[in-house]
Amino acid sequence: MRLPLSRHGPRLLSSRNKGVVMDYGLKGRTAIVCASSKGLGRGCAEALAEAGCTLVLNGRNADTLNETATAIAATHGVAVIPVVADVGTAEGRASLLAAAPAPDILVNNNGGPPLKDFRELDEAAILEGVRQNMATPIALVQAVIDGMAERGFGRIVNITSSSVLAPIPGLDLSSGARAGLTAFMTGVARRYAGRNVTINNILPGKMDTDRLRSNLDAGARRAGKSLEDWSSAQAAAIPAGRFGTAEEFGAACAFLCSRRAGYITAQNLLIDGGLLGRAF
């Protein structure tokens, strides 16, 4: 089913909608976007392609990845290199870097652990969660950041989660690993800011993705409600009145990667439609 969107949105200022394109200064840049065959990763890839980037796309399902690569290349007229790999493995990361040894942009993204009570997590599961959502993005940053600094341009965006700021019961492992990544990268970002290399994090709230649909389905079953009723109630609790879209998310990512965002680093951009009632 299609998740609820308000009658007012989304309407994005893009070349497809308004005939106007903001010059992000990214034409000809090369971007590695992890886990980008669908969902938020694809949203970031689409926005970077629209800005003129050559893309290295990544996914584990060859059919889905190749379909996405073909569609993006046809729509935006940029070179797209699909790399079938699990970014959580050393071999997978090596494949991405072989496709783009000197990327200008790195978008770190990876699936998080499934919902599970913290008491059910054994040591192996905890270490795996940390490997996927903390150690993996750190390894990729280590591999590319010095080259970015030497060339005088680099943009790194980590897709984390709103649960870094407001932990969600059952996603404790995801929250902890991504919070660890956030703290780790905050210090690293300040070391490289003077070389025109920025590191920022985007924290999605409830976005219209396969993961959200899975969580909504599980929630509906636990509550004994229909998926449609449960989804509508969840969307109504968000001040924006709807779930976010991958296109909106990607537009924010492209801006953080742009030459216009060179003075923004070590920041956490929350995209949640106003759901978290925070002033800071």
pLDDT in tens, 120-139: 999 999 999 999 999 999 99
**Partners of 82 in the β-ladder:** 57
Closest CA to 47 of 240, 249, 268, 272: 249
* Whole-number CA gyration radius for the chain: 18
* pLDDT of res. 215: 84
* pLDDT of res. 3: 58
| Nearest-angstrom CA–CA distance, 231 and 6 | 13
Q: Point out the least confidently predicted range of 16-30, 144-158, 231-245.
A: 16-30
> Does the pTM of the predicted model rise above 0.85?
yes
* pLDDT of res. 10: 46
Domains identified in the chain and CATH numbers: 24-207+245-271 (3.40.50.720), 209-243 (no CATH)
Q: Give long-range contacts, CB 8 A cutoff, 24+ apart: 217-222.
A: 218/115
| Nearest-angstrom CA–CA distance, 1 and 3 | 6
* pLDDT of res. 20: 58
Per-residue model confidence as pLDDT tens digits over 73-107: 999 999 999 999 999 999 999 999 999 999 999 99
pLDDT at 168 over 50: yes
Could you give the angle at which helices 39-50 and 62-76 cross, rounded to 10 degrees? 20
In this structure, are residues 99 and 81 in contact, taking their beta carbons and an 8 Å threshold? Answer: yes
Tokens found for residue 29: 């840049």
